[in-house]
């Protein structure tokens, strides 16, 4: 679906139906695209390239510190399908700051995670800048096995390590005017070289956002690790969001900033393709993506994607009992 179209005179202008911050960001982005003659269909959220390194080499080269004494939350101990092989979850990634294919694990090793800070501010009573090691110690760490569903219709099951987002929220105490939360990923064009020729038009840095009630939901999780160890860089070290009832793009990786705001903020994929990547982005088998069906999903496994098992997509990715009431 092309992104660039001239609205008819009887249509409502974007600025009347979209909060201003979203509108202004999108207009700047679209102006750049028009100048270059690029359409949304040319900016796919897909791409796959085989990597010469074996899974074992990748695991060895991106080994991170193991957690001691970790316990799995019994409420989220297993799902209706096996846990994805760790070697696949750490080699088949989306991280556009490091490239537009799934094989970004090597390029992502450039991410500098030393002395990492996470700034939390905006409409909160206690703005704070957490040093990542203090943040790791401050909140009780647990393991949760979640289904993970990408908007591209592939799915995994990952044992994440981390803590519920609502704990951080309670620590900074959002003010009553705060309605949304924006998450910003690390960005430095000297390091995050992007996804080829089109990435100069992308609205960097990568940002995502939730409603505050969504962040307060028990399922919303900050991951600090996976498979019993600290997050490897390609999976979004040292801190990422995991929102299991939404498509994977709603979970920003390598977070440096969290801001509580009043108006719905502009976000990365929603700015690029508002019809393709809606703000809410709840997993929904009945709402097709404009370019493909969401009725089923391919379970990431060994071999080529055409040989992967296909399963019906679950509404809210199977988490309706926890989250459906947020949308009633
Ligand atoms: N966060 C940043 N900063 N950059 C990205 O490109 N991709 C998103 C999300 N978070 C992305 C990101 C998408 S589209 C998906 S599906 C998941 O990360 C992929 O996470 P994984 O590589 O750990 O499977």
Question: In the structure encoding, which two tokens stand for residue 224, read together?
Answer: 């600090």
| pLDDT tens track, the chain, 328 positions | 223 333 333 333 333 334 444 545 556 656 666 655 555 545 545 444 445 678 888 888 898 999 999 999 999 999 999 999 999 999 999 999 999 999 999 999 999 999 999 999 999 999 999 999 999 999 999 999 999 999 999 999 999 999 999 999 999 999 999 999 999 999 999 999 887 777 888 999 999 999 999 999 999 999 999 999 999 999 999 999 999 999 999 999 999 999 999 999 999 999 999 999 999 999 999 999 999 999 999 999 998 889 999 999 999 999 999 999 999 8
Closest atom of ligand 1 to 252 CA is: 1
User: Is the CB of residue 37 less than 8 Å from the CB of residue 43?
Assistant: no
> Token pair of 205, please?
């840095």
Q: Residue 320: which H helix or E strand, with range?
A: helix 320-323
Distance 30 CA to ligand 1 centre (A): 23
What is the widest separation between alpha-carbon atoms in the chain?
63
The predicted structure's pLDDT at residue 22: 52
pLDDT the model gives residue 218 = 98
Which residues touch 52 (CB under 8 Å, ≥6 apart)? none
What's the angle, vertex CA 61, arms to CA 56 and CA 64, rounded to 5? 105
| Structural domains counted in the chain | 1
Residues with Cβ < 8 Å from 160, sequence gap 6 or more? 143, 144, 145, 146, 221, 223, 225, 226, 242
The domain that holds 268 is classified in CATH as 3.90.420.10
Does some domain include residue 4? no
What is the pLDDT, as a whole number, of residue 37? 58
Whether residue 8 lies inside any domain: the answer is no
Cα of 279 from ligand 1 centre, angstroms: 15
Pick the residue whose CA is nearest to atom 4 on ligand 1: 95
Domain annotation covers residue 186: yes
Instruction: Indicate whether 1 belongs to any domain.
Output: no
* Domain of residue 166, residue span: 14-327
Kindly report whether the global pTM for this prediction surpasses the value 0.85. Answer: yes
- pLDDT value, residue 302: 92
Find the 172 Cα to ligand 1 centroid distance in Å: 26
Provide φ and ψ at 226, rounded to 5°. Answer: -150, 155
Q: What is the pLDDT of residue 39?
A: 52
pLDDT at residue number 8? 34
- 215 close to 78: Cβ distance less than 8 angstroms: no
Q: From ligand 1's centre to the CA of 125, what distance in Å?
A: 30
Please give the pLDDT value at position 50. Answer: 46
**Can you tell me which residue has the tokens 């090691």?**
133
Q: Are 38 and 195 in contact (CB under 8 A)?
A: no
Q: Decide if 252 is inside a domain.
A: yes
Protein residues with CB under 6 Å of any ligand 1 atom: 45, 93-97, 150, 185, 206, 235, 248-249, 251-254
Cβ atoms of 238 and 247 closer than 8 Å: no
| pLDDT value of position 4 | 32
Residue 6 located in a structural domain: no
Per the domain annotation, does 28 fall within a domain?
yes
């Amino acid at each position: 679906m092309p992104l660039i179209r001239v609205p008819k005179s009887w249509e409502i202008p974007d600025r009347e139906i979209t909060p201003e911050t979203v509108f202004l960001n999108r207009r700047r982005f679209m102006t750049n695209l028009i100048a270059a003659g690029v359409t949304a269909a040319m900016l796919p959220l897909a791409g796959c390239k085989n990597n010469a390194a074996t899974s074992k080499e990748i695991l060895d080269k991106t080994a991170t510190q193991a957690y001691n004494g970790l316990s799995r939350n019994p409420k989220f101990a297993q799902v209706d399908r096996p846990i994805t092989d760790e070697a696949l979850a750490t080699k088949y990634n989306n991280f556009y700051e490091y490239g537009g294919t799934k094989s970004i694990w090597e390029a992502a090793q450039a991410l500098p995670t030393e002395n990492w800070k996470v700034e939390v501010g905006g409409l909160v009573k206690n703005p704070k800048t957490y040093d990542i090691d203090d943040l790791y110690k401050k909140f009780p760490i647990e393991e949760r096995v979640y289904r993970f569903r990408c908007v591209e219709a592939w799915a995994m099951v990952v044992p994440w390590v981390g803590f519920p987002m609502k704990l951080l929220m309670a620590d900074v105490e959002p003010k009553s005017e705060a309605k949304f939360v924006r998450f910003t990923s690390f960005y430095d064009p000297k390091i995050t070289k992007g996804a080829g020729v089109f990435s100069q038009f992308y609205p960097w840095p990568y940002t995502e956002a939730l409603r505050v009630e969504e962040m307060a939901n028990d399922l919303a999780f900050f991951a600090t690790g996976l498979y019993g160890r600290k997050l490897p860089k390609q999976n979004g070290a040292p801190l990422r969001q995991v929102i299991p009832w939404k498509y994977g793009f709603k979970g920003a990786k390598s977070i440096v900033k969290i801001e509580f705001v009043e108006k719905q903020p502009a976000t990365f994929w929603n700015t690029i393709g508002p019809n393709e990547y809606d703000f809410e982005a709840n997993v929904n088998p009945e709402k097709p993506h404009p370019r493909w069906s969401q009725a089923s999903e391919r379970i990431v496994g060994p071999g080529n994607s055409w040989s992967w098992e296909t399963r019906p997509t679950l509404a809210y990715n199977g988490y309706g009992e926890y989250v459906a009431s947020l949308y009633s």
